[in-house]
């Protein structure tokens, strides 16, 4: 089977499971999406461990790692998957410099792969993390393939495809903040979900299961 046929089959099975129930469809769709992300994360973790065990040094500065914590995995060829042959390790700051240089080399107006949004940690609130998206920012999301929501204190992130995120940024979920910002949080009792605020339209909270990963970039 080709990838498109696999996708069509998965959609068919989800539709059969939900039998027209939008809540069951949403849950099944998010469940499959989150587990596939987890599969990829486990593959990346295994590749990183094998590279570390082999004594790999930073691909950028060529120095050894003082700790295995926070080491970034980077794919040399973005069109290929995660394997020891296609992956290298980098210090976080070296990885950031690498991508900054890569971004500067891109032509003006080209689509950037990832939009990164960071949140500090809140200890005195009913939520741990909080990101706001303004209407102007929402309009610019089409310049990116995906959006990364980053926990600034830990470096953990989850990534949502831009089309998926924009479907959730409905007028009913706009709040009274700013020009009608959308609020996205991680509630303390739902640490593995993104919580979309009800907004001024009286909608209920919407929860999206996600997988948190340690890599700063998707490569």
pLDDT on residue 218:
42
- Which has more pLDDT, 189 or 106? 189
Query: Comparing 14-23, 44-53, 64-73, which segment has the lowest mean pLDDT?
Result: 64-73
Q: In terms of Cα–Cα distance, which of 163, 164, 195 is closest to 182? A: 195
Higher pLDDT, 57 or 30: 57
What confidence score (pLDDT) does residue 18 get?
Answer: 93
CB 65 within 8 A of CB 91: yes
Residue 2 sits at φ, ψ, to 5 deg, of: -90, 160
Tell me the C-alpha distance between 66 and 146, whole Å.
Answer: 32
What is the reported pTM?
A: 0.53
Confidence of residue 95 (pLDDT cuts 50, 70, 90): confident
Instruction: Calculate mean pLDDT across residues 87-104.
Output: 77
Percent with pLDDT over 70 in the chain: 91
Task: Output the pLDDT for position 70.
Answer: 82
């Amino acid at each position: 089977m080709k990838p498109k046929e696999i996708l069509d089959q998965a959609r068919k099975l989800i539709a059969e499971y939900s039998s027209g129930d939008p809540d069951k469809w949403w849950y099944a769709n998010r469940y499959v999406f989150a587990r596939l992300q987890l599969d990829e994360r486990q593959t990346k973790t295994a590749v990183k461990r094998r590279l570390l065990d082999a004594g790999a040094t930073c691909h950028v500065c060529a120095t050894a790692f003082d700790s295995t914590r926070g080491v970034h995995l980077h794919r040399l060829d973005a069109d290929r998957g995660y394997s020891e042959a296609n992956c290298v390790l980098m210090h976080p700051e070296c990885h950031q410099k690498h991508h900054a240089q890569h971004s500067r080399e891109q032509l003006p107006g080209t689509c950037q792969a990832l939009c990164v949004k960071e949140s500090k940690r809140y200890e005195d609130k009913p939520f741990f993390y909080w990101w706001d998206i303004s209407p102007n920012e929402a309009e610019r999301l089409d310049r990116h393939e995906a959006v990364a929501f980053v926990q600034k204190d830990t470096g953990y992130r989850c990534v949502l495809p831009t089309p998926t995120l924009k479907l959730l940024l409905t007028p009913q979920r706009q709040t009274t903040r700013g020009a009608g910002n959308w609020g996205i949080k991680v509630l303390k009792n739902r640490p593995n979900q993104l919580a979309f605020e009800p907004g001024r339209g009286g909608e209920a909270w919407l929860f999206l299961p996600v997988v948190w990963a340690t890599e700063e970039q998707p490569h």
